[in-house]
Every structure is written in C-alpha cells, then in structure tokens.
Amino acid sequence: MLRTKNEKKNFKSGFVAIVGAPNVGKSTLLNQMLGEKISITSKKPQTTRNRIIGIVHRPHSQLVFIDTPGIHRAKRTLNIRIVDAALSALGDVDVVLVMIDVANPDPDSEAFLVKKLKKQKQPVVLVLNKIDLVAKPMLLSIINEWSESHTFAAVIPVSAILGDQVDALLAAMEGLLPDGPPLYPDEALTDMPERFIAAEMIREKVFRLTGQEIPYSTAVTIESFSEAKSGNLVKIHATIHVERASQKGMVIGKHGARLKMIGTEARKEIERMVGTKVYLKLFVRVHKNWSKDTKALRRLGY
C-alpha cells in the first residue's frame, strides 16, 4: 500500500536494540510486540546466540528491533562471541531498550550492563519485566534504585509474557525515533531467512527437552531446505551438533524417543512459520569441543 506524502512527512522509523542480562525475557518481549514468534525462548539462560531482527509496524512509525543475546561477564569462547554480538548492536541503533527481571535480579550482569551504558549517547528506555511476579512496594523500590543508576528516557514496567504495558512501551519508543520513511515493506516481520529461524526452532526444542548440560553443547545447521513444486510441502534436513558421544546418546534418547520428540515439536512450529506441511529429518553428529574452537564457531555461524 502506497503512503501519502503527508503520512511520510509525519512518519518515524529507526532501530532499537533490546539488551539485558541472560534470561530476562528479551525474546518473549520481541515476540509479544510482533504478535508472531521469530525469536526462540526457554527458561535456560543464553538461549539467544545471534542478533535477531523483528519489525513492528504502527500507523505512524516502524520500529526495527534487534533482539540481542544476554550480556554477562563471559569466559568461554562461545559466550565471549555471544556477548560481543550483543554489545556490537549498541552502536548501530537509535534507541537502546534495557530490560531487567524484577523477580530474579542478576546484580553482577546488571552492574556490567550499567557500566556499558555509560558510554551510550542514544536515548535509553528501561523496561522492568515480570511485574506480575512482584509486589507493588518492591517494584517502586526497584524503579527508584535504577533511576539513580542512569538517566533513562523512560521507565516502563511490563509483563512480557502477559503483554501488560507493551502498548505503552511501544508508544514511548515511537516518540524517541527520528523522522524517516519505513525501512522495510509493510508485510515484513524479520530480515532473517526462514532456514535460520527453522534452525533456531530446532535448537529451542533441544534446550527445552534435554537436561541442564546438553543445550549449551549443541548447535544446529540446516543441510537442505527445499519446497516441493506443488508448494504444499517443505523438506528440511538438519544436523544437531554436540561435543561428545555421550551427549549424542542423550539427544537421541532411548530408541530415538527424545530426538523424535524434538523433531515433532520443531516441525509443528516450522509449519506455522511457513504455512504449509513440513518434512523434517534430523541427524545428530559429534563435533568435538566445537564451542571452544574459533574455526568451528565460524563454520556454525557464530
């Protein structure tokens, strides 16, 4: 749909980085704002490993969000790469959205984040997430404490999982965007290719359906992604990479039961994304110590 000259004149657009400690609900918030799932979530920290772009369309603005991995004091090679990816997003945006979990604070990661914010020139919006889990007096105390740590353009308490106050947050950020035309077409939700999102959806199921140790030792690559000529079937072959043979057995499970469960759950979500039937074939391969190998990290997309 073409916009009138008047609409373009009064239009705002820009980039917003969503940053915060691991597991504060950044991906949940992005999915809530979009009304669609493009960023994977789980209760385990560091689920997000890459920068994910999500595009929110409003009558007078277009907000391009960058969902970043959790910022923390990293030591492992993979985690250092993850944090570098998050911090690199801060220099390329018009607004920084800092998110904290008021129900489960992470003082060390939060102190590290505040230190990084001191260098930012862009307006910073503070989002206090999970307000449904704390009493109002405690929330007011948290707001006061954070307001003293940095000069924020706005402080918005939200519940990302319930959608509470999300409209107020979008309105606050819209007011901080520069004037400008839309950066993406009206129907665009993300600039990430479908095969990338499919790999992320598979990885999410590994996170959710395996034990504490396994998720951090896994990566997923798409070996083939093809659509049938009839257009009613997408065929995907994907590989789940693990670091040790014992982990391969845990991912596959007894008689292949866990791998089948991972495939079934991932296939349902991929079908919702592509809007057609999906044939998903999963393989599990041992790639010894890939998370500590810089060459392997590059090959696997980190």
The answer to whether the CB of 242 falls within 8 A of the CB of 248 is yes
Same domain, 124 and 158: yes
Q: Is residue 181 part of a domain?
A: no
The answer to whether the CB of 290 falls within 8 A of the CB of 244 is no
Same domain, 83 and 213: no
CATH code, domain with 290: 3.30.300.20
Residue 73 pLDDT > 80:
no
pLDDT at 74: 52
Same domain, 92 and 129: yes
Same domain, 168 and 26: yes
- Structural domain including 135 reads 5-174
Q: Is residue 82 part of a domain?
A: yes
Domain boundary pick from 174, 207, 231: 174
Q: Is residue 210 part of a domain?
A: yes
Same domain, 233 and 288: yes
User: CA-CA distance, 291 to 158, in Å (whole number)?
Assistant: 35
Same domain, 216 and 101: no
User: CA-CA distance, 253 to 232, in Å (whole number)?
Assistant: 31
CATH code, domain with 119: 3.40.50.300
What residue type is assigned to position 294 of the chain?
A: T
Q: How confident is the model at residue 293 (pLDDT cuts 50, 70, 90)?
A: confident
> Per residue in 133-168, pLDDT tens?
999 899 999 999 998 888 899 999 999 999 999 999
Domain boundary pick from 122, 145, 174: 174
Mean pLDDT of all residues in the chain?
84
pLDDT at 84: 64
Q: How confident is the model at residue 281 (pLDDT cuts 50, 70, 90)?
A: very high
pLDDT at 154: 94
Start-end of H helices in 148-226: 166-174, 194-209
Q: Is residue 293 part of a domain?
A: yes
Average pLDDT value for residue range 281-302: 81
Same domain, 24 and 159: yes
Residue 113 pLDDT > 70:
yes
Average pLDDT value for residue range 222-248: 90
Same domain, 47 and 157: yes
Residue 80 pLDDT > 80:
no
pLDDT at 2: 41
Same domain, 199 and 169: no
Q: Give me the number of domains the chain comprises.
A: 2
The residue whose two tokens read 């277009």 is: 62
Q: Is residue 292 part of a domain?
A: yes
Same domain, 96 and 218: no
pLDDT at 59: 94
Average pLDDT value for residue range 164-179: 96
Residue 267 pLDDT > 90:
yes
Q: How many CA atoms lie within 13 A of 267 on its CB side?
A: 17
Q: Is residue 86 part of a domain?
A: yes
